[in-house]
């Protein structure tokens, strides 16, 4: 009787990254739980920004947008997140975006950050937004400029320097959503 032998390669396997990403509003309970878990992982643990409590009062009114990794047409993980919310302003229909993050294994993969920004700005624009702002970490300012944002000035957030930026709304498409 022949004996089976297996050959093993000592090379490390790289983390699996889905090639199928869907960007949408977080609706289900698991999407919202993973949305907050990803934010905590990136901002509180990895970057040590607000390590005690990354969530704030804006989360009660914010629209949570997620990038979902799908396998075999089934979404199984949140790999990117951003939130948007409207702010009372007497001159503009002002919206803010924030807490943009992408899971470490998916950074630089399939333009997830750009897709999240596009969905965030377009969704606010569809809701009548006339001005869209975000407070961006200085190291990300160049990236935001590359996706049609202008720098307005500097601001401090959570004791750290940030850059206040504004989206060039005319560069973002209307994406009408039909209710079923």
| Per-residue pLDDT reduced to its tens digit, 10-68 | 566 555 556 678 899 999 999 999 999 999 999 888 888 876 777 777 888 999 999 99
Closest CA to 66 of 118, 124, 23, 17: 23
| Per-residue pLDDT reduced to its tens digit, 97-123 | 999 999 998 888 768 999 999 999 999
For residue 144, pLDDT beyond 60: yes
Domain spans, the chain: 20-171
> For residues 117 and 32, what is the distance between their CA atoms, to the nearest angstrom?
18
For residue 75, pLDDT beyond 80: no
Query: Torsion over CA of 159, 154, 122 and 54, rounded to 10 degrees?
Result: 0
pTM: 0.84
Please check whether residue 12 is in contact with residue 108, taking contact to mean a CB–CB distance below 8 angstroms.
no
Query: Tell me, which fold does domain 20-171 have in CATH?
Result: Aminopeptidase (3.40.630)
For residue 73, pLDDT beyond 50: yes
For residue 136, pLDDT beyond 50: yes
Please check whether residue 115 is in contact with residue 151, taking contact to mean a CB–CB distance below 8 angstroms.
no
> For residues 91 and 170, what is the distance between their CA atoms, to the nearest angstrom?
19
User: How far does CA 110 lie from the centroid of its chain?
Assistant: 13
Check residue 93 and report its DSSP letter. Answer: -
Is pLDDT larger for residue 175 or for residue 124? 124
Tokens representing 157 are 């957030």
Those residues with Cβ within 8 angstroms of residue 170's Cβ, 6 or more apart along the chain or in another chain: none
Identify the H or E element spanning 70.
Answer: strand 63-71
Q: Note the pLDDT of residue 76.
A: 76
| Average pLDDT over all residues of the chain | 86
Closest CA to 136 of 104, 160, 107: 160
Per-residue burial over 129-149, b if 16 or more Cβ lie within 10 Å, else e, is: bebbbbbbbeebbeebeebbb
For residue 178, pLDDT beyond 80: no
Strand partners, 132: 95
Q: Give one DSSP letter per residue of 131-146, joined into a string.
A: EEEEEE-GGGHHHHHH
For residue 7, pLDDT beyond 90: no
């Amino acid at each position: 009787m022949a004996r089976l032998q297996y050959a093993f390669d000592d090379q490390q396997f790289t983390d699996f990254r889905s090639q199928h990403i869907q960007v949408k509003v977080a609706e289900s309970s698991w999407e919202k739980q993973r949305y907050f878990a990803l934010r905590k992982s990136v901002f509180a643990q990895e970057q040590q920004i607000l390590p005690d409590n990354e969530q704030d009062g804006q989360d009660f009114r914010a629209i949570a947008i997620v990038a979902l990794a799908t396998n075999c047409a089934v979404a199984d993980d949140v790999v990117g997140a951003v939130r948007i919310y409207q702010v009372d302003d007497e001159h503009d229909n002002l919206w803010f975006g924030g807490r943009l993050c992408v899971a470490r294994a998916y950074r630089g993969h399939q333009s997830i950050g750009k897709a999240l920004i596009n969905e965030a700005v377009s969704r606010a624009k569809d809701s009548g937004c006339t001005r869209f702002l975000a407070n961006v970490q200085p190291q990300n300012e160049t990236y935001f400029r590359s996706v049609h944002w202008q720098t307005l000035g500097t601001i401090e957030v959570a004791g750290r320097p940030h850059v206040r930026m504004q989206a060039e709304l005319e560069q973002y498409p209307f994406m009408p959503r039909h209710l079923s």
